[in-house]
Structure 1
């Protein structure tokens, strides 16, 4: 800087005639004398005037442009975005469906007299209408009222919340658990907190992970790598590319709800151990349904061991999972989400996650219902067994008709249409003509060309209901000429439907686990009655 000033003094008489302290006084915060001196200079004065004229012209031009422009149309913008959804067939329609507690899986539409059979609910076991839950919740409502009264640290931390978290920790064989308002919030809050707080963290995410996990990873701003769906080899390639000493999270689901696929949990756990990572396992679509006590796929993998010795440290793969997430809003019949893991991990999230700290606590009535349901399903396999049997029957009968079901080992029955308009048409026809409600699944939930109907049989679906569903789908396929398995096979296969090289899958619930010594017809008569 001194060399520049010295050079400038040689060419500028003003600078040449003033020393450093004098210039400093002219440039004080409250002094404009330097600007006055500059305007007196024949060189700088002319430059300042030119710059001023240019600035004035620029301001005038911008003002004229603004006066010509039309005000932003907010309503026009909304319409433009909606038109985009309608044009690409991804617009979501919300049907008016009102579950009937005493008749579920029946529901009524806008008019109470218009009843339909629901075939796509995530209340997989029909527990939302279980008298045990309803009576527990009624008693809790009378005693504690409707709301929680505040966030957990202000007024919403009741004994019921602590009991529920103990119940969940016991379910997953972990030291602790933490309840959130939903699993969307649980996944987002946990991944964003871990990813942002752990220094130099890297997150590895399955390409089909749920939006809640994607949002959590995005909000964490951590480095991320996406591995191909259920592909341990691709995951290992990505893990090898990262310094083994950096903190790493492998995030995946156990059951993927739109296709019914099941993650290779044991292989992912092995990779986590090898490459110094922790596992984040979302069991949302598995809790209540899999395992001898309903803890999910991780429990189911060591079915017999966990049936006779359900505890932490029993040597099952459950001990190898670092973080579990789950929901109360599906098989457990109420609403809410949770995480389970080590006591220090739980306390860390409880202390740092805004999604937990600043959210009003779940009402006691909901917490009591969830706790009662989890406790009940730990000892009852009747609902799980009946659900799996019904899923097998529906898949088998559709297969016999050549109606394309995306193959998978779980309870999900995805019927492939391969076109958004066709999927919407099939859904509308089922509802309007056959009084069957099955929502169509389109982009962005599934890729374009993979559109489908997602059917979820429950213990409450009777043989007559199954017959009606199968007959209705057969009639619709014939009427509109929707693609069959043979059609997909002719074009080389899609979603493993009609793929000659695909080896097929076996149900994760084995015949032995389902105890097939009871005929299916007899088992329907013993289904849990509401």
Structure 2
């Protein structure tokens, strides 16, 4: 108002002769603040009315406001989701999941969305078919009736169930260790263990194989520890990295025994020797090996001293298994249920139990699951039949050798995994789809980022339940598929210089983990062969 009055005094004779106090009084003379008597009279004045109109003053004028900036549009979450998914579609890494329902009485058969539509499963990680075994199912039914469905919470809240403690005792004994700890999955076990150790060991450096599983990679990330990656199974590269590290800092060498996408097997003895030489501890993931190798199913580390561990299956027997510091495994593959675990010294296990959030804050496995796992571990400690039959179906009379005879490109490896190289994401997906639709065979395609671009494949895992007739049908279906689409065979990959171990010049001969002597001990071979032919 003061600025209006000052301007008005210059233009109006009446206002020019009036004092400021008089004008101020007029502006407050009983009128609402929005319209004073002074402004009313000014608008009636021929001089001031025009001046006020020219300068856009009014009786109801409000203080000038800054220009209104248009509000920013809210973030479009759905558009973001679509864009990110479109990236997966474009690079052919989008994952499709089929409706597959395994049939307990008929496995490896399963049905699709329609219960009448049965297919043959050739890619299950239930490697021994233990998920359907009466050994597990009968125990689980009894446990369900006695203890119910759930666990009641974390073990911190609901307490330690006797079944959990018994299972951990069996697992510690299996791996020749002082203690074991059961988790909801081995993904959580690996993540928790490496994150706890890496974050609490001062200045820790973790040396990781380039093909280690995502769960191990995640644990290293969560640890915040320095990470050194060595080329897959390359002991010279690992030693080079270990030599460059400060001898006084804690170190972990982390690796797997069987790498599930290529079937390669780690040089465990050499790995342990290097770790000891440079003051590191060893972290061995036996997820794809437990139940499958060794005289009691403890994994590849046990299998390396097969005869010794057969005769003296106890901690301190001098086997390489005793020298490994940490072993992790799963209950969800060869053991047929779900869950994961770690095994090691009593102090190590207690450290992870006390500091691992994945263990502390996750509801424990239900007793019904634990009882099944317990019976499976105990059973496979004494039964070799399932392991031997699976190995025979994989290599001797069957899948690997027969595909090789046809020039189908199987990635060479000494394990039970049968990776068939396709080399293109779209082609691998098409092969999977056609096997299912045309041949009633379920094999999932494996694309990036699980394997590198150009290494796409079908990952096949024969089980003891696959009959010779099923093997015939499978091999015939693969051959038809390769002919129809002219997929590359071994000779084609050789002409290109090789890929993923297929067609590589002067490649070393692959020796299976299971020797013929172990598969056919004494006169048991004839009996085993007769079982296979039943």
Question: 1:427/1:212 Cα in 2 relative to 1: closer, same or farther (>3 Å)?
Answer: same
Q: Secondary structure at the match of 2:419?
A: strand
Determine if contact 1:382/1:527 at 8 Å carries over to the other structure: no
Does residue 287 (structure 1) correspond to residue 263 (structure 2)? The answer is no
Contact 2:120 2:440 in 1 (8 A): yes
Give the match for residue 440 of structure 2: 435
In the other structure, the counterpart of 2:161 is 158
Matching residue of 1:419: 424
Asked if 1:134 corresponds to 2:144, the answer is: no
Write the mapping of 1:79-94 to structure 2, written as runs, cut at 5 A: 79-94=82-97
TM-score with structure 2 length normalisation? 0.86
Which residue among 197, 200, 221 is the counterpart of 1:218? 221
Q: Does 1:146 align with 2:117?
A: no
Instruction: Check whether the contact 2:519–2:525 (CA below 8 A) recurs between aligned residues.
Output: no
- Aligned match of 2:387 in 384, 387, 392? 384
SS in 1 for 2:110: strand
Please state whether the residue corresponding to 1:414 is helix, strand or coil.
Answer: strand
Residues 1:272 and 2:309 are matched in the alignment: no
* Structure 2 gap segments, 5+ residues each: 1-64
Equivalent residue, structure 2, for 1:474 = 479
Distance 1:295 1:275 in 2: 27
Normalising to structure 1: TM-score of the pair?
Answer: 0.86
**Aligned match for 1:117, one of 120, 133, 153:** 120
Q: 2:249 aligns with which of 246, 249, 256?
A: 246
After TM superposition, what 4+ stretches of structure 1 lie above 6 angstroms from structure 2? 516-522
Q: Aligned-pair distance for 1:71? A: 2.3
Shift of 1:521: 8.9
Q: Which residue among 164, 175, 180 is the counterpart of 2:178?
A: 175
Equivalent residues in 2 for 1:26-425 (5 A)? 64=69, 67=71, 69-392=72-395, 393-425=398-430
User: Cα RMSD over matched residues?
Assistant: 1.6
Measured in 2, the distance between the counterparts of 1:300 and 1:160 equals 28
- Structure with the greater alpha carbon radius of gyration: 2
**Aligned match of 1:501 in 497, 506, 514?**
506
Secondary structure (helix, strand or coil) at the match of 1:225 reads strand
Q: Which residue of 1 aligns with 2:467?
A: 462
The 3-state SS of whatever aligns with 2:255 is strand
Alpha carbons 1:299, 1:306 under 8 Å: kept = yes
Checking the alignment, whether the CA contact within 8 Å between 1:383 and 1:528 is kept in structure 2 is: no
Contact 2:205 2:227 in 1 (8 A): yes
1:155 positional shift: 0.8
Q: Distance in 2 between matches of 1:175 and 1:521?
A: 39
Q: CA deviation at 1:120?
A: 0.2
Deviation (angstroms), 1:265: 0.5
* Native 8 Å contact 2:127 2:333 kept in 1: yes
Shift in CA distance, 474/199, structure 1 to aligned 2, threshold 3 Å: same
Whether the 8 Å CA contact 2:209–2:229 is kept in 1: the answer is yes
**Residues 148 and 156 in structure 1, CA contact (< 8 A), matched pair in contact too:** no
Q: Matches of 1:491 and 1:200 in 2, distance apart?
A: 45
Q: Counterpart of 1:258 in 2: which secondary structure?
A: coil
List per-residue Cα deviations over 1:43-90 (Å, max 9, x = no partner): xxxxxxxxxxxxxxxx979x73x63x4321111000001110001000
Consecutive unaligned residues of structure 1, counting only runs of 5 or more, are 1-58
Aligned residues: 468
CA displacement at 1:520 relative to structure 2 = 8.0
> Do the aligned partners of residues 147 and 527 (structure 1) sit closer, same or farther apart at CA in structure 2, a change above 3 Å counting?
farther
Q: In structure 1, what is the Cα distance between the partners aligned to 2:110 and 2:240?
A: 49
Change (3 A) 1:251 1:282: same
